[in-house]
Amino acid sequence: MGADLEIERKFLIETLPEGLNAYPHESIVQGYVASARDGNEVRLRQKGEKFFLTIKSGGGVIRREGEIAIDREQFETLWPFTGERVVEKIRYRIECDGRTIEL
């Protein structure tokens, strides 16, 4: 698992854009196995039939992130450790001025 730098900015939007479902999107279920105050976290994520284990370190806008693909059995074995730290979302990808907005 290589560690890459992730630069992430988050913005709060007041309303969702019209016609959002016309953009490419996917359902995501993720749970946090561990999360510390210093920004370090271990996350499990399911996107469709793909499963991932991600480790993030550091806080702020720039963080180190390493991710590996795991199989369904590994995901299901680790999932109970997420407890109630679970997020379900739909991620939309919108191309705008040569950049990708993930909403």
Catalytic residues: 32
Q: Are the C-beta atoms of 72 and 63 separated by less than 8 Å?
A: no
| Rounded-to-integer distance, Cα 15 and Cα 26, Å | 19
Cβ atoms within 10 Å, residue 44: 23
